[in-house]
Structures are given as structure tokens and as C-alpha cells.
Structure 1
Amino acid sequence: MDLRDLLSVLRARWIAIVAATLIGAVLGLAASLLTTPTYQAKIQFYVTVAGGESALAAYQGSLGAQQRVQSYAALVKSTDITQDVVDSSGVDLTATHVSEAVTATADAKTVLLDVAVNDSDPQRAFKIAQGFGQVLPEAIEDLETPDGGGPALARLSVVNPPALPTAPVAPRTEQNIAIGVVLGVLAGVGIALLVNTLDRRVKSKEQLESIAGKPVVGSIPFRKNDDKQKGAEHIVPFRDGHSPAAESFRRLRTNLQFLNVDRPPRVFVLTSSVAAEGKSETTINLSLALAESGNRVLIIEADLRRPRVVSYMSMPDKVGLTNILSGRAEFADVVQETRHAGVDLLACGPLPPNPSELLASEMARRLIDDLRSKYDYVVIDSPPLLPVTDGALLAHISDGALLVVRSNRTTSDQVAQAVDNLEKADAALLGLVAVANKPAKRSDTGYYDAYYSSSKTPTS
């Protein structure tokens, strides 16, 4: 996945990213509101070591103080010291609690000892810090006094006495919210990438061509109300202007001629992987686009299980293909002229109990061969490829199949299996037709919308 693909995924899943970010911010705020405020009182000590008057003695004394300050920092948490602090400050805590509340730090390059006391009660934190200011210097003096008596070898002096804290040091609300936002963004991006990985739906032309190994010869946009003929919502009003849908079918018509320059397909099947991908609508409107350029076109309703073309075109369906294949009628007796110039319809006729056997018969093959001489184009609407074998059988006895795929609905596995079914039937896959499952963004349709609008604007 390159940067462009990543940005496309993030743009498509922006709602999840924003939601995760908001949740992270709310959780950060909730953590701050639910956390008991903590106050901190600090006290700083200075360590001095007795030395001589010479420069060497003073230097050795300074080194001794730096070495001792680390030990004093560890001594702060000792049970004896913390118990003395409890007794001195009069706080209602145990020595263990005081040990957990206090931290001591000492820089190895200085002789300063910093002691910090954290507590939910600012007054108590202040008293404990004062207790350390009283107890710790005395304890150090006792430890540093030689057994034989005399002055202490080192002393601890308070250089920065504690002050009563007025504001809590925790929770840090702004910091927690910022952390929540960052974690939310990361979680949102992770969720977006995970969902995209698990989402097997076909989303782009490049993805579709990679799966099928064939070109996308047509891209049908999501049809708006002005792309639907009044009283027949499945039919594009080609005569009423240059709508995006009408132009897309005209481009598909043109692209068909370039699939094989010497022998362009004239008898072909429109099929799909599964139901409800738009193959019947595509069959009708592609036929109308072909007839618009002066061709004689025959639509064959070969979906003998769930026929849709006849109802979409508001045509009778009492006789048709099954009557011919069963030897009960001739083509000339059942073919119907439609209200669209240049377009005839061979309806499916009565639904048979054995559709696959009829379509695989020698009668079906002879019918297809005979119709080549009668029409410029024969467009066959067939059932989906995955549930039944009818579409592959028809593609085998014709020039091939156009596979209709509804983007953002059909999965890559379904497309791959449909292509495999055609290959196993020794049928040619001519190309793919992508049908949009949702409205395109303004940037994607701006040119065609502008062209469509300008075609309806009178010129002076």
C-alpha cells in the first residue's frame, strides 16, 4: 500500500478516526476527573562535609559530600526515619504510608538532596515535609558523629524549606486529554487499516482489473433522478440530454469496439457474480446506447429463473426464449418490438424446470448462430455466475461475457470465483463493467455535471 492508497483509506474511514479521537479525549478527561487530586510539598537539603583549610582538603570534602548525598537519598525511605517523621509531624499515617508518599532525588554532581511528599491533602503533605526538615538533619548528625565523640563528619542543612501547596500536581488534565487524543488517533488509524484489510469488497478500477486480469470497459455512476426515464426508473433517458449515466453507457458502447478491432463482439452475455449487481439494467441501457448509433439490437432475456428485463421494460412475458428452445415456437413468432427504435426483445417465456439443460442444448447454439445474421448486436441477460452455471454456458456459445460488478458491494473473492467459472466453461471474459453503489464525490462528477448542465443551457 503506497501513500496514496493509505490516504484514500483514511479518507474513506474518517468517521472512525474522528470517533476514536473523540473517545480518546473523553477518556483522558474522565481519567482526570476520576483521579483524586495530588498535592506536592518539597524541601531541599544541602550536604556539607568537614574538611581542612587547604584546597586539597576542601576538594576531598566536596567529593565526600557528593558520595554521601546518594546514601542519604536512600535513607529517606527507611522505616526509622519515616516513623520519626510521623511522630514529629503528628499526621494520622503509618510509617509505610509516609515511605510510599515520599521520593528523594540527588544529582551525582551536586551536594543537594531534594525530598518531595505527595498527598491528597495539601496540609498533610506540608506537615510531612516539615517533619523531614526536622528529623533528617538530626538523624544524619547522629550517623556521622564518631563513636568516640567529637563533631559530626557531615551535616545536612535545609536550604529550601517547604511551602503549603496551593495547586495539585496531578492529575494533569491537559496532558491526559492530549495523550487520549494521540492514542485515539492511533487507534482510529489502526481500526481504519484493519477494517480495510478485512473488507473484501471491490472499491477501485485498479483492484478489479488486478483480480480479473481484464480491463474495466465501463464505469456506470450512481444514477440520480435525472438519470431515470419518467415512468421507467431502470431506463436511462438518452434522448433528454447528456446525463452522466447516458454518457457512461455511450463510452461503454465505444469501448466494446476496441476489445477486438478486427472482430468486435456482436453477440455477448451480461452477467454478474451474484444477484442485485445491476446486470439487467446494464443490459437494457447498453442496448439502447448501441441502438442510438444506428444499430439493430436484440435483447435476449436468458435469466430463466428470475427474469427482470421484461418488467423493467414493461413488456409481456407469456412467450419467448423457452418456447423456442423447447421446439414449440419459431423466433419470428415470439420476438417483440419495443418502444425504443432499433431494439427488439426476446422475452424469457414460461419459466422451465430445467433452465441449464435448455441453455446448454444444441437448439440454443443454433439460435445464437442464426441471430448473428439478423442483428448487429445481440445482448443476452443471464443469471449470476456463482449460484448457477447458466451464464457460463451462454458465454461459451457467444462471443464472450461482460462481467458486471457493483463496487463497494461485490467482494474480491466473488469476482475471482466468477472469472474462474468462466474459464472452466471455456468462455471468454471480454471485460468488466463497474456499477457504482453510492453517489460519487463532487470532485469525481464535476466535469460531467457541468457538461450535462451546459448541454441544457440554450446558446445565444
Structure 2
Amino acid sequence: MDLRDLLSVLRARWIVIVAATLVGGLLALGLSLLTTPTYQSRVQFYVTVSAGDSASAAYQGSLGAQQRVQSYAELVKSADIAQEVVDASGVDLSAAAVARAATASAGNRTVLLDVSVTDTDPDRALRMAQGYGDVLPEAINRLEIPDGGGPALAKLTVVNPPALPSSPVAPNTEQNVAIGLVLGLLAGVGLALLVNALDRRVKSTEQLEAMTGTPVVGSIPFRKNEDKEGGAEHIVPFREGHSPAAESFRRLRTNLQFLNVDNPPRVIVLTSSVATEGKSETAINLSLALAEAGNRVLLIEADLRRPLVVSYMSMPDKVGLTNILSGQADFADVVLETRHEGVDLLACGPLPPNPSELIASEVARKLLQDLRKTYDYVIIDSPPLLPVTDGALLARIADGALLVVRTHRTTSDQVVQAVDNLEKADATLLGIVTVANKPAKKGAGGYYDSYYYSTSKSASAPEA
């Protein structure tokens, strides 16, 4: 994944990232508000060591003070010292609790010792710090007296006495919220990348071309209300101007002519991997776009399981393709003229019990050969490829198939399997047509079953 892909993922998942960032900040704020404030009182000591009057003695005394101050810092945690602080300050804590509340630090090459005491009660923190200020010098004085008696070798002097803390040192709400926001942001980015890695849906034309080795010859945008005319929401109003949808089908029409310049495909199957990808609507509007350029076009409803083209075009479906394939009628007896100039329709006809056998018959192959002589283009709407073999069988006896893929819904596995089905049937995949996604309200599996194994039909059903 390069930088452009990364930015694309982050832009697509920005809601997840923003939500995670806000959650991180809110959690940090909540923890800060729930945390009991703690206060700190600090006392500072100065260490001196007895030395002679010479410069060398003074230097040795300074080094000795620096060495001693590190040891004195360790004494702050001593149980004996802590108990003396309890006795001197009168706090209602154990010696172990006082030792845990106190911290000591001494910098390198310095003779200063800092002792800090932290507690939830500012007054108690002050009293313990004062206790250390009283106890620690006396303890050091006792420890530094030579065995033979005499003055102490080192002395601890309070240079900065403790003061009553006016504000808590913890929690630092601003810092905690900032850290929470940063951690939330990182978590959001990580979650976005994880979701993207697990998301198997097709998202781009580059991804489609890479996995299929076939060019994307058309990209149909999401159709807005202004692209639809009353009573015919599946049909693009080509005569009413240059809407985005109309222009996309015109580009598809042009691209078909360049798939094979010497012998462009004229009998084309429109199919998809699964249902609800927009193949029927694409077949209708491609037919209208081809007719707009002066071609004579026949649109065949070859989905013999759940035909929807006749519903979308408000045409009768009493007779049609199945009557011809079963030998009950001739083409001239069942072909229908549509209200769109240059476009004829061969409806499905009665639903047969054996669709695949009819599609694979010699009568079907002969019919397409004859229609090639009559029409400039024959556009065939077929069932999806994964549930049944009808689409692959039709593509084998036609010039090839256009695979309709609904982006951000169809998975890469479904597309790869559909292409494999075409290859196994020795059918030609002419190209890919992408259709912008509409929010899916039903699961793909449930609708898939109802599409193919329901005997009812409805004009208001989702597009095939």
C-alpha cells in the first residue's frame, strides 16, 4: 500500500478515526475526573561536609558531599526514618504508607537533596514534608558522628522549607486528554487499516483490472433524482440532456467500439456475479445509448428465472424467448416494439422448468446467428454467474460478456469466481462495467436465495 492508497483508506474511514479519537479523549477526561486529586509538598536540603582550609581539602569535601547525597536519598524510604516522621508529624498513617508517599532525588554533581511527599490531603502532605525536614537532618547527624566522638562529618540543612500545596499535581487533566486524543487517533487509524484489510469488497477500477486482467470499459454513477424521469426510474432520460448517467452510458457505447476495432462485438451478454448489481438496468440503458447513435438494437430478456426488464420497461411478457426456444413460436411473432426508437424487445415469456437446457440448445445458438443479420446490436440480459450457469452458456454463443460489478458491495472473491466461470465455459469476457453502490438493506445471502427460488415477481423488486 503506497501513500495514496493509505490516504484513500483514511479518507474513506474518517468517521471511524474521528470517533476513536473522541472516545480516547473522553475516556481520558472521564478517568481524570474520577481520579482523586493528589497534592505534593516539597522540602530541599543542602549537604555540607567538614573539610580543611586548603583548596584541595575543600575540593575533597565537595566530592564527599556529592557522594553522600545519593546515599541520603535512599534513606528517605527507610522504615525507621518513616516511623520517626510519623511520630514527629502526628499523621494517621503507617510508616510504610509514609515511605510510599515520599520520593527523594539528587542530581549528578550537586549537593542538593529534594524530598517530595504526595497525598490526597494537602495539609497532611505538608505535615509529612515538615516531618522529613525535622527528622532527616537529625538522623544524618547521628550517622555521621565518628566512632570516637566529635563533630559530625556531614550535615544536612533545610534550604527550601515545605509549603502548603494550593493545587493538585495529579491528575493533569489537560495532559491526560491530549494523550487520550493521540492514543485514540492511533487506535482509529489502526482500526481503519484493519477494517480495510478485512473488507473484501471491490472498491476501485484499478483493483478490478488487477484481479481480472480485463479493462473497466464503463463506470455508471449513483443515479440521483434529477437523472430519473417519473414512472421510469430505471431508464436514463437520454433525450433530456447530458446527465452524468447518460454520459456514462455513452462512454460505454464508445468503448465497446474499441474492444475490437476490426470486428467489434455486436451480440453482448450483460451478466454479474450475484444479484442486485444493476445488470438489468445496465442492459436497458446500454441498449438505449446504442439506439441513440442510430443503431438498430434488440434487447433480449434471457433471465429465465426472475425477469425484470419487462417490468422496468412496462412491457407485456406473455410470450417471448421461451416460446421460441421451445418451438412454440417464431421470432417475428413475439418480438415487441418499444416506445424507444430503434429498440426492440424480446421478452422472457413463460418461466420454464429447465432454463439451462433451453439456453444451451442448438435453437438458441441458431437464433443468435439469425438476429446478428437483422440487428446492429443484440443486448442480452442474463442471470448472474455464481448461482446458475445460464449466463456463461449465453456468453459462449455470443460475442462475449460484460461483467457488471457493483462497487463497495460485490466482493473480490465473487468477481474472481465469476470470471473463472466464464473461462471454464470458454466464453469471452469483453470488459467490466462498474455500478456505484446504493446502501444495501438486506443481506446478500438472503436476497440471493429469494431471487432465484421464488416464483413470485414484482415490478417494484430490486434490480437484477
Q: Give the TM-score category using the shorter length.
A: over 0.9
Query: How far apart are residue 210 of structure 1 and its match?
Result: 1.1
Superposed CA deviations along residues 187-233 of structure 1, whole A, max 9, x for unmatched, are: 11111111111111111111111111111111111111221232111
Q: 2:433 & 2:108 partners in 1: Cα distance?
A: 74
Q: Would you say 1:285 and 2:299 are equivalent positions?
A: no
What is aligned with 2:153? 153
Q: 1:30 & 1:88 partners in 2: Cα distance?
A: 38
- 205-214 vs 385-394, which deviates more? 205-214
Q: 2:127 & 2:154 partners in 1: Cα distance?
A: 26
What is aligned with 2:32? 32
State the TM-score, normalizing by the size of structure 2. 0.94
What is aligned with 1:203? 203
What is aligned with 2:403? 403
What is aligned with 2:425? 425
Give the count of matched residue pairs: 439
Superposed CA deviations along residues 290-322 of structure 1, whole A, max 9, x for unmatched, are: 011111100110000010101111111111111
Q: 2:237 & 2:17 partners in 1: Cα distance?
A: 41
Q: 1:317 & 1:255 partners in 2: Cα distance?
A: 32
Q: Would you say 1:140 and 2:140 are equivalent positions?
A: yes
Identity rate of aligned residues, in percent? 80
Q: Where does structure 2 lack aligned partners over 5 or more consecutive residues?
A: 440-464
Equivalent residues in 2 for 1:163-178 (5 A)? 163-178=163-178
Q: 1:217 & 1:373 partners in 2: Cα distance?
A: 26
Q: Helix, strand or coil for the counterpart of 2:115?
A: strand
What is aligned with 1:361? 361
What is aligned with 1:3? 3
Query: How far apart are residue 146 of structure 1 and its match?
Result: 1.2
Equivalent residues in 2 for 1:297-308 (5 A)? 297-308=297-308
What is aligned with 1:444? none
Q: 1:27 & 1:110 partners in 2: Cα distance?
A: 41
Opposite residue 422 of structure 2, the aligned amino acid is: L
What is aligned with 2:415? 415
Q: Would you say 1:193 and 2:193 are equivalent positions?
A: yes
What is aligned with 2:351? 351
Opposite residue 380 of structure 1, the aligned amino acid is: I
Q: 1:33 & 1:271 partners in 2: Cα distance?
A: 59
Q: Where has structure 1 moved over 6 Å in runs of 4 or more?
A: none
Q: 2:419 & 2:310 partners in 1: Cα distance?
A: 27
Query: How far apart are residue 8 of structure 1 and its match?
Result: 1.1
Opposite residue 262 of structure 2, the aligned amino acid is: D
Q: 2:329 & 2:310 partners in 1: Cα distance?
A: 19
Q: 1:141 & 1:199 partners in 2: Cα distance?
A: 72
Q: Would you say 1:378 and 2:378 are equivalent positions?
A: yes
Query: How far apart are residue 271 of structure 1 and its match?
Result: 0.2
Query: How far apart are residue 78 of structure 1 and its match?
Result: 0.4
Q: Helix, strand or coil for the counterpart of 2:430?
A: strand
Q: Where does structure 1 lack aligned partners over 5 or more consecutive residues?
A: 440-460
Q: Would you say 1:17 and 2:20 are equivalent positions?
A: no
Opposite residue 174 of structure 1, the aligned amino acid is: E
Superposed CA deviations along residues 263-292 of structure 1, whole A, max 9, x for unmatched, are: 000001000000010000000000011011
Q: Would you say 1:389 and 2:380 are equivalent positions?
A: no
Q: Helix, strand or coil for the counterpart of 2:374?
A: coil
Q: 1:240 & 1:54 partners in 2: Cα distance?
A: 106
What is aligned with 2:267? 267
Q: Helix, strand or coil for the counterpart of 1:373?
A: helix
Opposite residue 97 of structure 1, the aligned amino acid is: A
Query: How far apart are residue 438 of structure 1 and its match?
Result: 4.7
Superposed CA deviations along residues 367-404 of structure 1, whole A, max 9, x for unmatched, are: 11111101100000000000101000000000000000
Query: How far apart are residue 108 of structure 1 and its match?
Result: 2.5
Superposed CA deviations along residues 40-69 of structure 1, whole A, max 9, x for unmatched, are: 000011111111111111111111111111
What is aligned with 1:63? 63
State the TM-score, normalizing by the size of structure 1. 0.94
What is aligned with 1:457? none
What is aligned with 1:180? 180
